[in-house]
Structure 1
Amino acid sequence: MSSGLDNLRDVTIAAPAPITSDPSSKKADISGRKWPAHLAMAAFSLAAAVYVCQGLWRAPQQNVVADNVSDQGQFEWMLSYGVYVLQHLGNPFFTELLNAPRGVNLAMNTSSTFYAVLFSPLTHFAGPQVTFVTILTLNLSGSAFVWYLFLRRWLVRSGLAAAVGGLIFGFSPGLVSHANGHLNWTSGWMVGIVAWWVLKLTDRDHWLRNGIVLGLLCTMGFSVAAEALFFAALASGIFLFVWLLSRPGLKRARTALPPLLKSLGVTALVAGTLLAWPLYMHFHGPLKFSGTGFRMRFYSEDLVSYVAFPLPSVAGAFGWGADLAPNATEATSFLGAPLILLFIAAVALLWRRSSPERRVTLRALTVIAILFFLLSLGPRLRFLGEEQSHIPLLYALLVEAPLFDSALPVRYTLVVVVAIALVIALFLDEFLTKRIAVRLAAVGVVFLAVAPIAPLPLRTLERAPEPLFISSGKWKDYVTDDGVMTSLPLSIDVAVDSMRWQAYTMARGGDSQFRIPAGYFLGPQDYEETGRHLVGRVGAPDRPTDQLLYKAARWGQVPRITNEQRLQARVDFAYWELQAVFLPETVTGPNGPLNRDALLRLATQLLGEPEQVQDVLVWRIRPGVDPVDVIEETQG
């Protein structure tokens, strides 16, 4: 009696020759032929990932990705928080260490709990900087390798075709662009494993096991990249829907649907139970909000970007790249005209040459590519950098829908890239069985389409070193345990040094820890919860004093401070419960050092002369001091 799994394999693999049914022969084939190929692919993928991340590996404690300094700092904080949570048995989904005195709902942020806990020993002993580049390297190489294994298991016979498909996705412009600071969106391996197990759900004999495993995988995926897991679930649902309603898939629906539904029920039960707490915190926890804090219409794909070349690529090195992305980290398409044309031609050729069973797979992949392409364009069409506001698109219907309202359209492109990579692998696999001239022609066409988008190494720059004031523990003399202290300026999306100093302290462990005001995170726009609908924003709501500090650091603006501004500063310091502020010798900004001299002049006007402590300048904030005394001190 055949199972749903066997039926699914019939649909997804149209083999030119039958596979032997002798299990011992199959095992011998795997051990004698496939394992060396697997090891070679793993080694090549790892070498390619090290090449892309080489700038960080040269000096992980010193260098930072140049195109997204802040997100790397944020992820380093999240990794260090894993050490803190394990040591203090803290709440992994809410913290009071950031945004004092309110805290931050981490369930609504990219907390990456799985990485933070799994790599906590490395973070503790080597620092979050080393952990960050380690995970980033493993993500890129693992994404290529897992999708290679996926292709060999489900779609193609040729190891070369599987390797090409895996590398196209694992080192696609989208994943490499997200390597500029994003540990979540480079986790393509997680999506591959989830997709792998989704294809097992039609197995009638193991529906319980498959449901449990998929539930555990979804739990892991939620803590790695919740938004990517949503995309994976959406794409998997579309694939299964098309497969079940396609002929000859329709003939198999009667036998495949019962185990599929039972497995999904078990998956929902397991994942729902394990994720009950984080989901509650996300939807009903303190400081919850809606949206992302980012403008969806800005973070949408430009129609031309799909056929353009990425800037950090071989084509870009020759000046053929296009700057049409919202930023360097969200350049998720840029596949180039040759690869797009090859994808279209491959679908047409394979459709003509394939059996009805194989056409089911092609139909599903094509539907997924088209739907996610439309979603990636956002609510309004963008063309050559200009929004065509009079042309609404599919996403305009979904902007306020649950889950869709928290996703950035530009990121749906990564699913399009998966579909393209799978189709290219199918195309190559089809023609690698032909005579030598046809094989060479097929390999040559794929090489010419892919070579222009081959990635260049990530750009890096130096960031401010950790002050001795922090690393030596001298800071403990200026703030009580769990008291509030910050470096200048307060942490925001373009200046995360204060979060970094806190992160390095958490990573080293110990009983003492300080909190910081503000921070780089997603939170509600308002200071107080009023029971009304709260919209998300990046960072804490602005206060007058942090705006003064920000303008001084970013643009060197130092106005003549009035007594009213000094009084406001005391009000703000009291709100933050600040005990001390300090200014290091260098302050990291988004493109290089910020204006330290301007910060020093402004802080001196507000607080008086600082105290030199090791390699920083420190101002003590004395709670309960009469503002008139402060005014007299700063003026005198």
Structure 2
Amino acid sequence: MRRGRRADAAFALGYLALAGYVLSGLWSGGYLVDGGQDQTQWEWFFAVTARNVAGGDFLLFTTLQNHPLGVNLMANTVMLGLSVPLTPLTLLLGPSATWTVVLTLGLAGSAFAWYWLLSRHVVASRAAAGIGAAFCGFAPPIVSHANAHPNFVVLFVIPLICARVVALRRRRRVLRDGTLLGLLAAYQVFLGEEALLLAFAGLAVFCLGYGLAAFCPGYGPAGPEAALPALRPVLGGVCVAALVCVALTGAALVYQFTGPQSYDGLIHGPAGNDVKALVAHAGRSLAGEETVAGSLSMNRTEQNAFFGWPLAVLTIGIVLWLRRKPVVVGSGLAAFTGVVLSLGPEVTFGGTGTGFIGPWRFLSGLPLFESVLESRFTLVTAAAAGILLAVAADHALALSWTGLPVRTLLCLALAEALVPVFPLPLAAGDRAHTPAFFTTGAWRAHVAPGRSLVPAPPPDAGDATALRWQIDAGLGFPLPEGYFAGPYGPDRQGVYGVAPRPTATLLREVRDTGRLPAIGAEERRRAREDLAFWQADAVVLGPHERQEALRDALTRLLGEGRQEGGVWVWDV
């Protein structure tokens, strides 16, 4: 038992060290540049949640962005399950510290949770469990999401959910284990609903494969007559879990889908994995090349496959080798399903459509699934592959001395498959300093309580720097528009941001092109209307590479501004 505890501690520290290595640029004060504006967005979510908790305000809505209409926070990935309990950290050290801690503990904690599941319920060898869990926690898709999406990094609840299903299968305490399953599912709702949906889909496929292997005549040891007694406690526990989960999350989910600024599914085009991406290597893997990975993915935060040829071949070989084990059949079926669904509505190869229709075309219109990026289904594959690696390593380590050649061969195969996907530190760079206008409180002389300050242009997914200014100003004023998920058009389809008003569109055109459009009486009239709609007291132009062009545009719209605290200000 003491040896086991020492092994547990060693793996926990090892995972924490590996997480610190991957995020070393962040710990040294850098900004994760491959995530675009997402780090700023997440820091804003943490800051606003902390402010709401400290002030006793409503946690699910705010008008600090998209003023005066506001933002439905429950319909965004604010991760209340962590942002609320970490409020003291955010208030004490700032949201950047919270962001760093969440990502670090997310990577390490998720890996250790998989280790706990594998070592207690799946394999006998803690070393084998450690290998499989390391892949589950630091697989290429997970590391890619660590650039920008902590909701796909903080996954420690998923292995705990799997453990409750195992407990139900053993028919011990259905009510207790079902209640615990419901509590875990409810908590995961407040960490990431999409991850929970993917996990339940993968777990359902795993259970199907496991059941077929365990109870099919001539294949499983139990036979079909044992299927119903084994299934009954699982179904009963799941029903209890559903009741508990709905009771705890129902009100928040109703607000998410029907409350102010709610939306009906996120708009996105086809986002399937390219077939070549399945066997290529990610940009931040040891054997990866940024240019190759970039050509086969949406962006550097969505490199959702990239397992490499050696790992793909090894995984298939493990399934064929240990096909008599139900856990291998279930994991193999889950891995295969994740790959097939991730290919999207039409299979592509090297960026070219093949004409073959993928199964995703028939699922993409179902409720909840319409908002899922299908390429993320390989997160299911990553977890299943980690389980297969652990089972294979455990089987090899249990061989007697006569099985030494097999053990040696498997060790070499594991090294060949895992060394190329070993993660590299995420790219990090410097962040621009916030102007003194915001950090010294000079803005207070220009913005009355309840009125907004308009950055030029307003923040959006392309440039959310103004959200950082707002954080450094103590969230003392609201901003128009912004970077969040909200409704668009009469059908309330979800988009990132809002339908921009004419003045915002004009300023973004100048920002993006450096060209000054024609500005006359009509544009000035629209500017007055937009400023009135935004309830604006001041327009502010901060440091920008195209500051002169933007200042010329604002001068034509609003007249002469003045410099103060490192920015140009127009009192309106």
Q: TM-score, normalised by structure 2?
A: 0.94
Q: TM-score, normalised by structure 1?
A: 0.85
Name the residue aligned to 1:87: 54
C-alpha distance in 1, partners of 2:119/2:180?
Answer: 21
Q: Which amino acid aligns with 1:477?
A: A
Q: Which amino acid aligns with 2:254?
A: Y
Name the residue aligned to 2:507: 549
> For the structure 1 residues 494 and 319, does the alpha-carbon distance in structure 2 shift closer, same or farther, using more than 3 Å as the test?
closer
C-alpha distance in 2, partners of 1:71/1:506?
Answer: 20
Name the residue aligned to 1:165: 132
Name the residue aligned to 2:265: 291
Q: Equivalent residue of 1:139, what SS?
A: helix
Name the residue aligned to 2:26: 56
Instruction: Give yes or no for the alignment of 1:578 onto 2:544.
Output: no
> May I ask how many residue pairs the two structures share in their alignment?
562
Which structure 2 residues correspond to residues 319-330 of structure 1 after superposition, within 5 A?
323-330=295-302
Instruction: Give yes or no for the alignment of 1:521 onto 2:472.
Output: no
Q: Which amino acid aligns with 1:52?
A: V
Tell me if structure 2 keeps the 8 A contact 1:212–1:267: yes
Deviation sequence 1:563-616 (CA, Å, 0-9, x none): 21111111111111111121223x5xxxxxx53332222222222222222222
Q: Equivalent residue of 1:90, what SS?
A: coil
Deviation sequence 1:73-130 (CA, Å, 0-9, x none): 1111111111111122222222222111211222222121112101111111111111
Q: Which amino acid aligns with 1:523?
A: G
Deviation at 1:495, TM superposition (A): 0.7
Tell me if structure 2 keeps the 8 A contact 1:195–1:232: no
Instruction: Give yes or no for the alignment of 1:396 onto 2:366.
Output: no
C-alpha distance in 2, partners of 1:147/1:553?
Answer: 46
Deviation at 1:469, TM superposition (A): 1.9
Deviation at 1:290, TM superposition (A): 2.1
Which residue, 253, 260, 278 being the options, matches 1:279? 253
C-alpha distance in 1, partners of 2:291/2:318?
Answer: 28
Tell me if structure 2 keeps the 8 A contact 1:491–1:499: yes
Q: Which amino acid aligns with 1:111?
A: V
Which residue, 291, 301, 308 being the options, matches 1:336? 308
Give structure 1 stretches of 5+ with no counterpart. 1-28, 508-512, 527-531, 588-593, 622-636
C-alpha distance in 2, partners of 1:324/1:615?
Answer: 42
C-alpha distance in 2, partners of 1:234/1:567?
Answer: 53
> For the structure 1 residues 173 and 160, does the alpha-carbon distance in structure 2 shift closer, same or farther, using more than 3 Å as the test?
same
Q: Equivalent residue of 1:537, what SS?
A: strand
Q: Equivalent residue of 2:539, what SS?
A: strand
Name the residue aligned to 1:150: 117
More displaced stretch, 279-288 vs 65-74: 279-288
C-alpha distance in 2, partners of 1:570/1:201?
Answer: 63
Deviation at 1:51, TM superposition (A): 0.8
Deviation sequence 1:387-445 (CA, Å, 0-9, x none): 34x32211111221101101110111100111111111111111112334443332121
Name the residue aligned to 1:25: none
Which residue, 496, 505, 524 being the options, matches 2:464? 496
Q: Which amino acid aligns with 2:255?
A: M
What CA RMSD, in Å, does the superposition of the two structures yield over aligned residues? 1.9
Tell me if structure 1 keeps the 8 A contact 2:141–2:302: yes
Name the residue aligned to 2:567: 616
Deviation at 1:198, TM superposition (A): 2.2
Tell me if structure 2 keeps the 8 A contact 1:243–1:250: no
Name the residue aligned to 2:454: 486
Tell me if structure 1 keeps the 8 A contact 2:102–2:154: no
Deviation at 1:218, TM superposition (A): 1.1
Tell me if structure 2 keeps the 8 A contact 1:558–1:598: yes
Which residue, 223, 244, 265 being the options, matches 1:270? 244
Q: Which amino acid aligns with 2:460?
A: I
Tell me if structure 1 keeps the 8 A contact 2:37–2:463: yes
C-alpha distance in 1, partners of 2:341/2:223?
Answer: 27
C-alpha distance in 1, partners of 2:64/2:290?
Answer: 46
Tell me if structure 2 keeps the 8 A contact 1:83–1:120: yes
Which residue, 545, 550, 555 being the options, matches 1:604? 555
Tell me if structure 2 keeps the 8 A contact 1:244–1:250: no
Q: Which amino acid aligns with 1:177?
A: S
Q: Which amino acid aligns with 1:373?
A: V
Name the residue aligned to 1:460: 428
Q: Which amino acid aligns with 1:363?
A: V
Deviation sequence 1:212-240 (CA, Å, 0-9, x none): 21111111101111100111112222223
Structure 1 runs of 4+ off > 6 angstroms?
A: none
Which structure 2 residues correspond to residues 46-445 of structure 1 after superposition, within 5 A?
46-59=16-29, 63-245=30-212, 246-247=214-215, 248=222, 250-295=224-269, 297=270, 299-316=271-288, 323-351=295-323, 354=324, 358=325, 360-388=326-354, 390-434=355-399, 435=401, 436-445=404-413
Tell me if structure 1 keeps the 8 A contact 2:284–2:290: no
More displaced stretch, 272-281 vs 324-333: 272-281
More displaced stretch, 433-442 vs 134-143: 433-442
Tell me if structure 2 keeps the 8 A contact 1:194–1:232: no
Q: Equivalent residue of 1:557, what SS?
A: coil
Which residue, 430, 442, 447 being the options, matches 1:474? 442
C-alpha distance in 2, partners of 1:151/1:578?
Answer: 56
More displaced stretch, 43-52 vs 441-450: 441-450
C-alpha distance in 1, partners of 2:332/2:223?
Answer: 16
